C-alpha cells in the first residue's frame, strides 16, 4: 500500500509513524512545504488523558515527550491587581519544535520518506497512491480541491490575537487581564520549557485599532506588548517568531473522507486556542486513523470508522471551544465582577468544569470562593423593621475568621427589605383543582395549598406560585387560582400565615393575565386546548390566535387596557393586604403582557405597537401602576421571555433593554424565561438551558436574575451562583410536582390551620408575624 | 420500571400464527407490555392490526406502539382505529407516535416527507379532540383517550412532547443516551408547566442463543437499520446477546428513570421469548 501524507506537523508525522509501525511493508512518504527546521508557534499543551493515549499508541515517542514535558497544576488569574490561584489541573506542555523533532526522528527510524521544502500546488503532482492523508493544516490544498464534497465552513473570531514567546519561566498557566486607555487585553500564558513560555495576547477589534496595532509591524507589535506586560514580564523579553495579529478561524468540515482521501487535524477542524486542544485533537485523530486502518482491511470501512469515532469527539470540543471563545470575546460584561467571582466564572466558562469539579481539584480555592460569597451576601444585608425577623445576616464568625462557610446556595440575599434566607427557589407545583372539590372562580385549591406548604417546609428560601389570574377573564384554565375576590385574599392570607408561622421561606405571588392563551383546558390534558364549552372571550395585543385551534382574541382597545391595568393594581393591593412577601409579574411565555413585547404578536399601529420603545409601553404602564401601590419595602420580580427563539422576534438585545428599563422603574429581579411566545419558538431543552441567557441579562443589564432550566443538583446551583450567572435558582425535581410525594406525615395544611384557629393561636401568630 | 417484550412483527418472514402464540405466551408473564414497531416499505406486519390480534388473545399486558408513523395515516382514521383498539382491550393501549426517519415509507404511502414535525404537531393536536367527537364513537376506554407518547430526538420534538402528549418513547441506544434524552424530556415538561410526571418508555433489541442465532439477529439489525449507512454496524453491535448484557441494560435504564422498557426480538422463534422470560425470572422479575 502506498500512502502519501501532505504536511509534517504533529498530525501528519504521528499518523505516518503509527501506520508504519503497524504495517512496516507500507510505502509511506510525507511531504512538507517548509524546510525541516522551520516551525511556527511556541509551546503546545496536553492533558494527562491525552498523554495516556500517547503512551498506548507509541511508547518510544511517549518516553521522549515525557522527558521534555513541563507539567504544572495551577491556573493563575491576574485581574485588578490580584492574583488568584486554583490548583489541581494537570496540564503538560512541550515546545512545538521539540515535539516535531521527536516525531521526525521516529519517522526516519521507521523508514518513512520525509521530504521538506516541497510545496504541492495540485493533487496531480502526487502521482499514484492508495491513500492520501491531508494533514496540511487549515489552508489544506487537498480539502480545497474537493470543497464541494468535504463541505468546509470557516468562521472568523471577532478578537485579534498574536502568538508570542517569552524568555520567562512561569509556574502556572496564567491568565492576565490588563486594561489601558485603548481597552482590555487578555493574555493566555504558559511555560513549555525550562527557559521559555508562550504568551498569547488577545484583544477586541476596537481596542486593537485604538492602539494602532493595525499599522504596527512585527517589531512594533512586540514592543507594544512588552510595554503592556512590563509588570508581568518583570524584566524578561517577549519573543516573536514571524508573529502576526490574526483572527482565530474555526473550521468545521461536514465530511472527513472521500474515496481514498482523508482529512486529519487542522485540515478537518480547528478549535479556539483558549481550551488548548488543537494539537491534542490532531494527534488523537492520527491515533484513531492508524487504529481504524489496522482493524479494517477494507479502506472505505476504515475511513468510515475513523470519521465516526472522531467526529463526535471533535464536535464536543468545538462546542466547548466556542463557549470559551465567546466568553473571551464578550469578556467586557464581566469586568464588574470582583476578582474571586471573575476567576470562578473564567474557570467554569466552557461548561465542562463545575463547582464540584473544582472542589475536587482544589478544595482551598473553592472554600475561599464559599467564604467570599457568604461574606459578600451577609455584609450586604441590612435589617430593617420587625417584620423581617430572620437573622442570619450577621457574618458568621467562621466566615469572618477565614474558616468555613456554607456553599453559595445557602447564602441569604436581600431584595429591598425582604431577606430571602437561601438561594433555592421552588416553583414547580402546578395548580390543579382537587378531584373531590372542583373549584371555580379562582379559589386556591386545597391540594395546591398543601403543595405550596410542603415546598416551604422542604427548605426553599423562596416559593413562587403558579400563575395567579388578576381577573376571571385572565385565567388560563377554569381551575386557575386568582386574586380578584375577597375570598381569594383571605385564602392567600392563610397561606402566608402558614409560611411565616412554620417556615423561613418567603412567598412570591405570580400575577398573570393569560391573554390569548386563556380559556383552555387543564394543562394535564395538554397545552392550549380550548375548552369544550363555556369559553370566555380573550384579549391580546393583536387579534392573532395562539394555535390554529385557539379562539381568536380581540385586540385590546384603550378601555380594555385600563381595565386590565386596574385588575393588576387591584390584585397587587389585595396581595399587599394578604401580607404576601413579593410579587412577580408575568411578561413571558406569550401571555397578555408578553404579547405586547414581541413583534410577532404585536401588530398594533397605535402608540403601543411598532418599535420596542412602543411595544414595551403598555407592560411598563402596568408595572408602574403596580409598583405604585405595592409596599415600598417589598420587591417585585418580572418573568420575562428573553428570546422568542424565532427569526424576526423579540431577541436578547431587546430583553436587555427591557430589563434595564424595568430596573430603573423599580423592578428588583428578573426571572429568565425563553420561548412560548408563539408555537414555533421552543428552546433547545436540556440541563441548564436558560443559564447562558440569565448570565447575559444579569451581567449586561446589571439586574439580579432568577433562573430555572431543569436544575436538579446542588452542583449546578452552586456553579451558577458562584460564577455570577444568576442570583437565585429555581430547583426542579420530578418529585416536587408529584402530589403523591406529599404524605400525611408532611403536612395537612387545612387541619393545621383549623387546629390553630380552634386553639386561638392564629391571632397570636398574626400579632407576632404580621401578614 | 416495568419490562415488556416486542412482538416479532418487524422481523421478516415471521409466521402469522407465531404472532398470536407469542402474544398469548407473553401475557402469562413476566412481561408488562407487548410492543410493536412500524415500517411500511419493509417485510413487517401492520402494528395496529397486529395489536388488535394480540388484544384478542391477551387479558393483562399493555399494548404499546413504539412507535406508529402517524403521518402515514389519516388522522381521523388513526383516532378511530386506536379508540377501537383501546375499547376492545379494556383500556390497555399506549399509543406511541413519531415522524419516522425513512423516506421510502412516505414514498410508498404517497405522503409528503417534508415538514413532518409540523404536521405531526397538528396530528397530535387533533387526536384527543377526535376521541371526544361523539360522531366518531366508540369513545376510547378512558375519558381522555389512551396515553399518547411521542418519539424523536430533535429539539422541537421535546417541545412537542411536552405540549401535546403524556410522555416520551426513546428509540434505542445505551442507557447514557437515554439519560440525556430524559433530561430534555423533564426540562421541556417542567418548562411547559405540565402537572405530574411524563411517562418514559424505551426499547432495546435482543437475541439469545448460540452464535448462529446471534448472527441471525445481527443480520436483521443491519438490514433494518441499513438506511442509517455506517451506523447500522454500530447499532447491530449494541444487540443484547447475553443475560448479563440484558441485566445491565435493564439496570441502566431503570437508574436513568425509565418507566417501561420494551425488549424486541430479532429472531422470530418462540424460544427467544422463553429465554428472555428466563432471564427476567432470574432477575427476580415476576408477573406484576
On whether any CB of chain B is under 8 Å from the CB of A447, the answer is: no
From A46's Cα to the closest Cα of chain B, the distance in A is: 27
Whether A532 and B194 lie within 8 Å, measured CB to CB: no
The whole-number average pLDDT for the span A421-442 is 71
Band (pLDDT 50/70/90 cuts) for residue A749 is very low
* Residue A511 pLDDT greater than 80, yes or no: yes
CA atoms within 13 A on the CB side of B138: 15
The whole-number average pLDDT for the span A587-593 is 97
Cα torsion A358, A363, A365, A368: sign: positive
Instruction: Note every long-range contact of B281-284, with CB atoms under 8 Å and residues 24 or more positions apart, other chains counting.
Output: B281/B30, B282/B243, B283/B247, B283/B250
On whether any CB of chain B is under 8 Å from the CB of A547, the answer is: yes
From A708's Cα to the closest Cα of chain B, the distance in A is: 9
The length of chain A is: 771
Rounded CA-CA distance A583/A566 in Å is 16
From B286's Cα to the closest Cα of chain A, the distance in A is: 25
Whether A549 and B184 lie within 8 Å, measured CB to CB: no
Chain A residues in contact with B193 by the CB 8 A cut-off are: 430, 466, 523, 527
* Residue A760 pLDDT greater than 50, yes or no: no
Q: Considering the entire predicted model, what is its pTM?
A: 0.89
On whether any CB of chain B is under 8 Å from the CB of A204, the answer is: no
* Residue A732 pLDDT greater than 70, yes or no: yes
Q: In the 8-state DSSP scheme, what is residue B150?
A: E
From A682's Cα to the closest Cα of chain B, the distance in A is: 6
The whole-number average pLDDT for the span A348-373 is 92
* Residue A770 pLDDT greater than 50, yes or no: no
What percent of chain A stands above pLDDT 90? 69
pLDDT for position B275: 97
Phi–psi pair at B167, nearest 5 degrees: 170, -170
- b/e string for A275-306 if b means 16 or more Cβ within 10 A? bbbbbbbbbbbbbbbbbbbeeeeebeebbbbb
Rounded CA-CA distance B176/B234 in Å is 15
At A272-293, the pLDDT tens digits run 998 888 999 999 999 999 999 9
Pure H helices in A151-217: 205-210
**3-state DSSP call for residue A410?**
helix
Q: Are strands A131-134 and A2-6 parallel, antiparallel or unpaired?
A: parallel
Q: Which A positions 651-690 lie with beta carbon below 8 A of chain B?
A: 675-676, 679-680, 682-687, 689
Q: In the 8-state DSSP scheme, what is residue A422?
A: S
> A459 and A424 in contact (C-beta within 8 Å)?
yes
Question: Considering only A454-463, A674-683, A738-747, B95-104, which range has the smallest mean pLDDT?
Answer: A738-747
Q: Are strands A418-420 and A413-415 parallel, antiparallel or unpaired?
A: antiparallel
**3-state DSSP call for residue A325?**
helix
ipTM: 0.90
Rounded CA-CA distance A599/A615 in Å is 8
The whole-number average pLDDT for the span A143-157 is 95
Q: Which residue has the higher pLDDT, A737 or A462?
A: A462
Whether A526 and B129 lie within 8 Å, measured CB to CB: no
Instruction: For residue A326, count other CB atoms closer than 10 A to its CB.
Output: 16
Pure H helices in B59-205: 75-88, 103-109, 116-132, 155-164, 175-191
Cell reading at A345:
466564572
Q: For chain A, how long is the longest CA-to-CA vector? A: 100
At A531-576, the pLDDT tens digits run 988 999 999 999 999 999 999 999 999 999 999 999 999 999 999 9
Interface test with B, best of A255, A451, A468, A526 (most B CBs within 10 A): A526
Interface test with A, best of B177, B191, B237 (most A CBs within 10 A): B191
From A686's Cα to the closest Cα of chain B, the distance in A is: 4
pLDDT for position A449: 86
- b/e string for A551-575 if b means 16 or more Cβ within 10 A? bebebbeeeebeebbebbbebbebb
- The segment with the largest mean pLDDT, out of A383-397, A432-446, B225-239, is B225-239
Interface test with A, best of B159, B167, B183, B231 (most A CBs within 10 A): B159
Band (pLDDT 50/70/90 cuts) for residue A750 is very low
Option in A524, A527, A686 nearest B196 (CB): A524
Average pLDDT, chain A: 89
Interface test with A, best of B131, B143, B193 (most A CBs within 10 A): B193
Residue of B nearest to A549 (CA): B125
Cell reading at B98:
413519531
Q: Which A positions 458-477 lie with beta carbon below 8 A of chain B?
A: 466
Q: Which A positions 288-317 lie with beta carbon below 8 A of chain B?
A: 304-305, 308
> A72 and A172 in contact (C-beta within 8 Å)?
yes
Instruction: For residue B68, count other CB atoms closer than 10 A to its CB.
Output: 24
What percent of chain A stands above pLDDT 70? 91
From B230's Cα to the closest Cα of chain A, the distance in A is: 7
The continuous run of DSSP H or E covering A399 comes out as: helix A397-400
Residue of B nearest to A731 (CA): B190
CA angle A490, A494, A496 (to 5 degrees): 115
Chain B residues in contact with A683 by the CB 8 A cut-off are: 155, 159, 191
The whole-number average pLDDT for the span A690-698 is 96
Phi–psi pair at B49, nearest 5 degrees: -70, -40
**3-state DSSP call for residue A709?**
strand
Residues 6+ apart with CB under 8 A from A254: A150, A151, A152, A153
* Residue A757 pLDDT greater than 70, yes or no: no
Rounded CA-CA distance A187/A76 in Å is 11
Instruction: Name which of A26, A28, A35, A34 is nearest A14 in CA terms.
Output: A28
Band (pLDDT 50/70/90 cuts) for residue A743 is very low
Q: Which A positions 548-587 lie with beta carbon below 8 A of chain B?
A: 548-549
pLDDT for position A296: 86
Rounded CA-CA distance A135/A266 in Å is 7
On whether any CB of chain B is under 8 Å from the CB of A435, the answer is: no
Cell reading at A32:
512538507
Phi–psi pair at A618, nearest 5 degrees: -70, -50
The whole-number average pLDDT for the span A453-466 is 88
Torsion-angle region of A284 (φ positive above 0: left; ψ -120 to 50: alpha; else: beta): alpha
Option in B197, B231, B234 nearest A734 (CB): B197
* Residue A439 pLDDT greater than 60, yes or no: no
On whether any CB of chain B is under 8 Å from the CB of A738, the answer is: yes
Whether A529 and B190 lie within 8 Å, measured CB to CB: no
> B62 and B142 in contact (C-beta within 8 Å)?
no
Q: Which A positions 699-718 lie with beta carbon below 8 A of chain B?
A: 708-710
> A497 and A572 in contact (C-beta within 8 Å)?
no
* Residue A754 pLDDT greater than 50, yes or no: no
pLDDT for position A400: 63
The whole-number average pLDDT for the span A715-726 is 96
Rounded CA-CA distance A295/A291 in Å is 6
Mean pLDDT by 10 residues, chain B (288 residues): 97 96 95 96 96 97 96 96 96 95 93 92 92 86 90 87 95 92 93 90 97 96 87 86 96 95 97 97 81
Interface test with A, best of B118, B122, B163, B167 (most A CBs within 10 A): B163
Rounded CA-CA distance A541/A548 in Å is 17
* Residue A183 pLDDT greater than 60, yes or no: yes
Chain B residues in contact with A304 by the CB 8 A cut-off are: 230
Chain A residues in contact with B158 by the CB 8 A cut-off are: 682, 685
Whether B128 and A466 lie within 8 Å, measured CB to CB: no
- The segment with the largest mean pLDDT, out of A344-358, A446-460, A664-678, is A664-678
Cell reading at B126:
387533533
Instruction: Name which of A686, A375, A12 is nearest B185 in CA terms.
Output: A686
Q: How many CB pairs under 8 A join A and B?
A: 92
Residue of B nearest to A641 (CA): B191
* Residue A432 pLDDT greater than 80, yes or no: no
Distance of CA A743 to the CA centre of its chain: 37
Cα torsion A639, A702, A460, A635: sign: negative
Rounded CA-CA distance A458/A736 in Å is 9
Per-residue DSSP letters for A107-120? HHHHT-EEE-S---
Residues 6+ apart with CB under 8 A from A433: A439, A445, A447, A479, A522
Q: Are strands A173-180 and A183-191 parallel, antiparallel or unpaired?
A: antiparallel
Band (pLDDT 50/70/90 cuts) for residue A377 is confident
Rounded CA-CA distance A561/A595 in Å is 13
- Cis previous bond, B82, omega within 30: no
Amino acid at each position: 500500500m502506498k500512502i502519501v501524507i501532505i504536511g509534517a506537523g504533529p498530525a501528519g508525522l504521528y499518523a505516518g509513524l503509527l501506520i508504519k509501525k503497524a504495517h512496516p511493508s507500507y510505502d509511506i512518504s510525507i511531504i512538507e512545504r517548509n524546510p525541516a527546521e522551520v516551525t511556527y508557534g511556541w509551546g503546545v499543551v496536553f492533558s494527562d488523558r491525552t498523554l495516556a493515549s500517547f503512551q498506548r499508541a507509541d511508547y518510544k515517542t511517549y518516553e521522549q515527550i515525557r522527558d521534555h514535558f513541563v507539567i504544572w497544576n495551577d491556573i493563575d488569574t491576574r485581574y485588578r491587581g490580584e492574583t488568584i490561584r486554583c490548583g489541581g489541573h494537570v496540564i503538560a506542555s512541550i515546545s512545538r519544535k521539540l515535539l516535531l523533532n521527536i516525531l521526525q526522528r521516529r519517522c526516519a527510524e521507521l523508514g518513512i520518506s520525509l521530504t521538506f521544502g516541497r510545496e504541492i500546488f495540485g493533487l496531480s503532482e502526487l502521482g499514484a497512491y492508495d491513500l492520501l492523508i491531508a494533514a496540511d493544516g487549515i489552508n489544506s490544498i487537498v480539502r480545497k480541491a474537493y470543497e464541494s464534497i468535504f463541505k468546509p465552513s470557516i468562521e472568523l473570531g471577532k478578537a485579534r490575537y498574536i502568538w508570542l514567546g517569552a524568555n520567562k519561566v512561569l509556574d502556572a498557566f496564567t491568565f492576565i487581564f490588563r486594561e489601558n486607555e485603548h481597552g482590555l487585553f487578555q493574555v493566555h500564558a504558559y511555560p513549555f520549557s525550562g527557559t521559555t513560555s508562550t504568551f498569547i495576547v488577545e484583544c477586541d477589534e476596537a481596542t486593537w485599532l485604538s492602539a494602532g496595532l493595525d499599522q504596527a509591524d512585527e517589531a512594533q507589535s512586540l514592543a507594544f506588548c512588552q510595554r503592556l506586560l512590563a509588570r508581568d514580564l518583570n524584566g524578561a523579553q517577549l519573543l516573536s517568531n514571524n508573529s502576526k495579529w490574526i483572527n482565530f478561524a474555526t473550521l468545521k468540515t461536514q465530511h472527513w473522507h472521500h474515496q481514498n482521501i482523508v482529512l486529519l487535524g487542522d485540515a478537518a477542524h480547528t478549535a479556539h486556542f483558549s481550551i488548548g486542544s488543537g494539537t491534542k485533537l490532531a494527534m488523537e485523530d492520527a491515533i484513531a486513523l492508524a487504529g481504524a486502518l489496522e482493524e479494517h482491511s477494507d479502506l472505505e470501512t476504515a475511513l468510515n470508522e475513523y470519521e465516526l469515532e472522531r467526529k463526535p469527539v471533535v464536535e464536543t470540543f468545538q462546542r466547548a471551544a466556542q463557549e470559551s471563545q465567546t466568553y473571551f470575546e464578550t469578556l467586557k460584561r464581566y469586568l464588574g465582577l470582583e476578582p474571586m467571582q471573575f476567576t470562578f466564572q473564567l474557570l467554569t466558562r466552557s461548561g465542562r468544569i463545575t463547582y464540584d469539579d473544582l472542589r475536587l481539584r482544589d478544595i482551598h480555592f473553592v472554600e475561599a470562593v464559599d467564604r467570599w460569597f457568604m461574606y459578600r451576601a451577609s455584609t450586604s444585608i441590612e435589617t430593617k423593621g420587625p417584620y423581617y425577623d430572620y437573622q442570619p445576616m450577621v457574618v458568621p464568625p467562621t466566615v469572618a475568621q477565614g474558616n468555613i462557610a456554607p456553599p453559595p446556595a445557602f447564602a441569604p440575599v436581600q431584595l429591598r427589605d425582604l431577606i430571602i434566607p437561601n438561594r433555592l427557589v421552588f416553583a414547580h407545583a402546578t395548580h390543579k383543582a382537587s378531584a373531590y372539590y372542583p373549584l371555580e372562580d379562582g379559589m386556591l385549591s386545597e391540594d395546591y395549598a398543601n403543595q405550596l406548604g410542603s415546598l416551604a417546609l422542604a427548605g426553599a428560601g423562596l416559593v413562587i406560585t403558579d400563575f395567579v389570574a388578576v381577573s376571571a377573564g385572565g385565567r388560563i384554565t377554569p381551575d386557575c387560582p386568582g386574586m380578584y375576590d375577597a375570598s381569594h385574599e383571605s385564602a392567600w392570607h392563610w397561606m402566608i400565615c402558614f409560611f411565616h408561622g412554620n417556615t423561613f421561606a418567603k412567598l412570591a405571588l405570580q400575577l398573570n393575565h393569560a391573554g390569548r392563551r386563556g380559556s383552555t383546558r387543564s394543562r394535564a390534558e395538554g397545552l392550549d386546548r380550548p375548552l369544550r364549552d363555556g369559553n370566555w372571550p380573550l384579549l391580546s395585543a393583536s387579534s392573532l390566535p395562539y394555535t390554529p385551534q385557539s379562539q381568536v382574541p380581540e385586540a385590546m382597545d384603550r378601555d380594555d387596557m385600563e381595565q386590565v391595568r386596574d385588575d393588576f393594581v387591584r390584585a397587587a393591593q389585595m396581595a399587599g393586604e394578604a401580607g404576601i412577601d413579593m410579587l412577580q409579574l408575568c411578561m413571558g411565555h406569550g401571555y397578555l403582557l408578553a404579547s405586547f413585547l414581541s413583534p410577532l404578536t404585536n401588530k398594533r399601529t397605535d402608540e403601543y405597537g411598532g418599535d420596542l420603545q412602543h411595544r414595551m409601553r403598555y407592560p411598563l404602564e402596568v408595572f408602574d401602576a403596580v409598583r405604585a401601590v405595592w409596599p415600598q419595602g417589598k420587591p417585585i420580580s418580572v418573568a420575562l421571555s428573553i428570546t422568542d427563539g424565532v427569526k424576526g422576534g423579540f431577541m436578547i438585545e431587546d430583553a436587555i433593554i427591557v430589563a434595564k428599563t424595568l430596573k430603573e422603574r423599580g423592578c428588583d429581579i428578573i426571572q429568565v424565561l425563553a420561548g412560548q411566545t408563539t408555537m414555533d419558538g421552543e428552546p433547545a431543552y436540556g440541563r441548564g438551558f436558560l443559564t447562558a441567557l440569565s448570565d447575559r441579562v444579569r451581567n449586561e443589564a446589571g439586574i439580579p436574575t432568577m433562573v430555572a432550566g431543569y436544575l436538579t443538583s446542588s452542583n449546578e446551583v452552586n456553579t451558577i451562583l458562584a460564577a455570577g450567572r444568576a442570583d437565585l435558582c429555581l430547583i426542579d425535581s420530578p418529585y416536587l410536582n408529584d402530589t403523591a410525594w406529599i404524605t400525611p406525615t408532611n403536612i395537612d395544611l387545612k387541619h393545621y390551620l383549623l387546629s390553630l384557629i380552634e386553639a386561638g393561636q392564629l391571632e397570636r401568630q398574626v400579632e407576632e408575624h404580621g401578614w | 420500571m416495568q419490562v415488556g417484550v416486542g412482538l416479532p412483527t418487524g422481523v421478516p418472514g415471521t409466521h402469522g400464527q407465531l404472532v398470536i402464540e407469542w402474544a398469548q405466551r407473553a401475557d402469562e408473564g413476566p412481561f408488562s407490555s407487548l410492543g410493536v414497531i412500524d415500517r411500511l416499505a419493509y417485510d413487517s406486519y401492520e402494528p395496529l392490526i397486529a395489536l388488535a390480534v394480540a388484544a384478542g388473545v391477551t387479558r393483562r399486558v399493555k399494548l404499546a406502539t413504539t412507535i406508529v408513523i402517524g403521518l402515514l395515516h389519516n388522522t381521523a382514521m388513526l383516532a378511530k382505529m386506536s379508540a377501537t383498539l383501546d375499547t376492545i382491550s379494556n383500556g390497555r393501549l399506549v399509543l406511541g407516535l413519531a415522524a419516522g426517519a425513512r423516506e421510502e415509507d412516505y414514498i410508498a404511502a404517497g405522503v409528503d416527507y417534508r415538514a413532518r414535525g409540523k404536521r405531526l404537531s397538528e396530528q397530535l393536536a387533533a387526536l384527543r379532540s377526535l376521541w371526544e367527537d361523539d360522531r366518531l364513537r366508540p369513545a376510547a376506554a378512558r375519558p381522555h383517550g389512551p396515553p399518547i407518547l411521542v418519539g424523536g430526538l430533535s429539539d422541537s420534538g421535546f417541545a412537542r412532547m411536552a405540549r401535546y402528549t403524556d410522555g416520551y418513547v426513546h428509540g434505542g441506544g445505551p442507557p447514557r443516551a437515554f439519560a440525556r434524552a430524559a433530561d430534555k424530556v423533564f426540562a421541556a415538561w417542567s418548562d411547559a408547566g405540565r402537572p405530574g410526571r411524563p411517562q418514559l418508555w424505551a426499547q432495546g433489541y435482543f437475541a439469545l442463543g448460540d452464535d448462529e442465532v446471534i448472527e441471525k439477529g445481527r443480520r436483521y439489525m443491519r438490514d433494518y437499520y441499513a438506511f442509517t449507512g455506517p451506523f447500522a454496524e454500530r447499532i447491530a453491535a449494541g444487540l443484547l446477546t447475553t443475560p448479563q448484557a440484558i441485566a445491565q441494560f435493564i439496570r441502566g435504564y431503570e437508574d436513568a428513570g425509565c418507566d417501561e422498557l420494551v425488549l424486541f426480538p430479532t429472531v422470530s422463534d418462540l424460544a427467544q421469548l422463553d429465554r428472555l422470560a428466563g432471564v427476567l425470572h432470574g432477575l427476580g422479575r415476576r408477573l406484576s
